Amino acid sequence: MTEQSGVAVLGATGSIGSSALDVLRLHRDRYKVVGLTGWKRMAALKPLMREFAPAQIAAEPESVSVIDANLLEGCEGGCYLGGEEGLVAVATHPDVDTVIAGVSGAAGLQSTLAAVEAGKRVLIANKEPLVMCGQLVRKAASVSGACLMPIDSEHNAIFQCLPLNLQQDVTSGRGIGSRSAGAGVSRITLTASGGPFLRTSAAAISDATPAQALAHPTWNMGPKISVDSATLMNKGLELIEACSLFGLDESQIDIIIHPQSVLHSMVGFDDGSLIGQMGNPDMRIPISYGLSYPERTTSGIERLNLAEIGVLEFEQPDLERFPSLVLARETAKTGRSVPIALNAANEIAVEAFLDRRISFCEIPQVVDWILQKHEPLEVSDLEHVVDIDLEVRALASEMIQRGRSS
């Protein structure tokens, strides 16, 4: 019998975590769930603890009172409470071989980097580590021998389309920038569904409600990433992530609208060839690929039926209705600390929108204002990244509060 590989799922109760656990259920003979984190969603975490009996869990302090003592008996490392300590402990547990980094936002930054520094195979679903400190992540991987594997649909698709030698450069943290020309890679194309407002007028978009922004036509995602998809900031963050992970210049990366969401991204080669990865829009496919790479195993998702789809559409994004794409591309050009500022400002603005403190069209306005105020800095270490992040969050929150009181 093959020895089970230990897996930690960070953000087990979120959309990525739920998809990951669905895949893991299909392959209990191959994988053992060693760690789970759920933070505030204890009602969802408790049945997972019963089902998988992890050695370690992490949750927020206020949630411990609802955890039954008998559920913790099997947790040899106990229940870590509060801050980043618990996430890091789960991510670096000695029995963990693979970490699925599915914590939304900057909250997953430290634990993801810790997993990389510990030499784990890290399946990166959250964009923030690569957006905010991609160089630190790649450098850590090159030192520790970690394996970096993108499992968001677009970057996983790009990875699948690369030749084997360039795949190895990505997983090792070297990136493909300097070697892409030799391998004939000229460009990559990220596809975007266009979100719920693809055919909505600018006037109607300005009055959009949180419920409308959360109603994504093809993907089932959490609140923050759903709003990012509605503003197309999600695609802007993916542009920055692609620059960071693959070591490419932003001028080598195109973004195209593809409403059907079945062609997830493409790689263009010097000879004119364009290779893309297709599949039903379900995160279990890239998660399964990341877990079993370089092999392929079942994901539980049916094969794509092109005859049923019939038509595949492609169009350029409307940069006037979706200015977040412009902000993100300019951010990618400037680099340094600017991606940290963009990400922090966007998280604060999205939170304010979901709380109905600002309008939908004010989300990119907040981000733009922050970027105009931010002085680009060279980023030295994780502590520096966190300091910049906190400073920008405070500034963005203050701006939103001033706007409400004026």
Residue 345 has pLDDT above 60, yes or no: yes
Report the C-alpha gap between 60 and 83 in whole angstroms: 7
27 falls within a domain: yes
Match 């932003």 to its residue by tokens.
250
Q: How far is CA 102 from CA 111, 297, 338, in A?
A: 11, 21, 23
**Do the beta carbons of residue 42 and residue 59 sit within 8 Å?**
yes
**CATH code for position 399:** 1.10.1740.10
Domain boundary residue, one of 98, 130, 150: 150
Domain boundary among 150, 165, 199: 150
User: Structurally, how many domains does the chain consist of?
Assistant: 2
In a domain, 341, yes or no: yes
Give dist(CA 127, CA 302) in Å, integer. 27
Residues 35-72 pLDDT 10s: 999 877 777 888 998 899 898 888 876 665 556 555 56
- Does residue 371 fall inside a structural domain? yes
Residue 256: inside a domain: no
Is the pLDDT reported for residue 83 higher than 90? no
Q: Note the pTM of the prediction, 2 decimals.
A: 0.92
CATH code for the domain of 47: 3.40.50.720
Indicate the residue among 150, 180, 199 that finishes a domain.
150
Determine, yes or no, domain membership for 217.
no
Cα–Cα distance, 373 to 375 (Å, whole number): 7
Q: Residue 330, Cβ neighbours under 10 Å: how many?
A: 15
Q: Judge whether 263 lies within some domain.
A: no
- What pLDDT digit, counting tens, does each position of 146-175 carry? 999 999 999 999 999 999 999 999 999 998
DSSP codes, 325-357 = HHHHHHHHHH-TTHHHHHHHHHHHHHHHHHTTS
Task: Give me the domain span that covers residue 344.
Answer: 336-406
Over residues 312-325, the pLDDT tens digits come to 999 999 999 999 99
Say how far apart CA 353 and CA 35 lie, in whole Å: 33
Q: What is the pLDDT of residues 171-191, one digit of tens each?
A: 999 988 766 656 789 999 999
Q: CA torsion 266→168→237→225, rounded to 10°?
A: 90
Furthest C-alpha separation in the chain? 68
The CA-CA-CA angle for residues 1, 300, 10, to 5°, reads 75
Q: Tally helices (H) and strands (E) across the chain.
A: 18, 11
User: Is 109 inside a domain boundary?
Assistant: yes
